[in-house]
A and B are shown apart, each in its own frame.
Chain A
């Protein structure tokens, strides 16, 4: 009972060979895990992609059908590679990659339209020790000013992602027993890039 993946050799970041099964074989565990955060900040969808130092990715998703469709249609790497070019820590809207060409139409249809999701966003995080993490969120909320809402909650989304990352550690290490996931530090490089987050800066003036 195995769903087979054909990794594209030309892609730098490749998926775990068993990813199509992994998406579903922890379904109830992940459903329980993500139910802790779904609903917070109007979030309806969460996924975490962990890329290890060997550039192999594994995905844990609250809606695995999205990843299954992207992967089986060869669209996952298109979607993922564009994000890898973005600055770490930024909130990147799914719409930013929608240029109304055939590929981005398909990606948008799989991610948003099929699932009645109104707004989606990703945060790429450097998790240290050669690991990268992508936190993906989307909402089905139809309210106004959703982007402002999420920009204001950028750091909260990161906290939600970090929380899920910690809960997923054991499951990750089951699939990769030779890796130990790094502990996420308190360093927050995204703060200065966020236009709405006020932050205090300590100025030391001891020249006297």
Chain B
């Protein structure tokens, strides 16, 4: 069953974000310009009115268009997520990682620099680990373990082909 209060909460965040982004208007009952929202989402004004009234939710592709245009995070807009404060747009181009974790990843990966057969693979692999660590909700101790396990997988992989590795273990 759809939780209607979520629709209303979404609508409230959408209205706030539109006003904060300068798309407010005094001529509309909700204080925002429906036509602008329709332009952003590439949806009809009729469905946009339903978003604003808390009667419907846009699909996720439209959420992304709105959040990008209004400079808020999609997680905050959709769920009011606590760790996404809505004030800044999180994109794939920016990463936030604790200094100690990043240092650990770099130190562990130094060994790979020597043994990795295809050096081109190193940077994407390190970025993958950084992505994992920044996405995972875990305590620091477990994140450090995840870094170790991931880097060790690459060390084993490069020491021998997978087939022989599997037999060795």
- Chain A interface residues (CB < 8 Å from chain B): 1-3, 21, 24-29, 31, 63-66, 68-69, 72-73, 95, 99-101, 105, 108-109, 112-116, 118-119, 142, 144, 146, 170-171, 174
Contact = CB atoms under 8 A, between A and B. Distances in A.
A118 B64 contact: yes
Contact of A171 (B59, B128, B138, B166): B166
Interface in B121-139: 121, 125, 128-129, 131-132, 135-138
Given A24-B153, A65-B132, A68-B146, 8 more contacts: A26-B153, A28-B157, A68-B132, A72-B138, A105-B79, A116-B91, A118-B64, A174-B169
Contacts of B79: 105, 108-109, 113
Nearest to A146: B61
B24 interface: no
Contact of B146 (A3, A31, A114, A171): A3
A100 B154 contact: no
28 contacts: A1-B149, A2-B145, A24-B150, A25-B153, A27-B129, A27-B150, A27-B154, A28-B121, A28-B153, A29-B157, A29-B162, A63-B131, A63-B135, A65-B131, A68-B132, A69-B136, A69-B137, A95-B59, A100-B7, A100-B57, A105-B79, A108-B78, A109-B78, A113-B79, A113-B81, A144-B61, A170-B163, A174-B166
Contact of A29 (B136, B146, B148, B153): B153
A101 B3 contact: yes
Contacts of B107: none
B149 A114 contact: no
B166 A170 contact: yes
B35 interface: no
A116 B157 CA distance: 29
Interface residues of B, number: 42
Nearest to B9: A100
Contacts of A119: 60-61
Most buried by A among B59, B60, B135: B60
Contact of A99 (B2, B121, B145, B157): B2
B38 to A, nearest CB: 16
Nearest to A101: B3
Contacts of A68: 132, 136, 138, 146
B3 A99 contact: yes
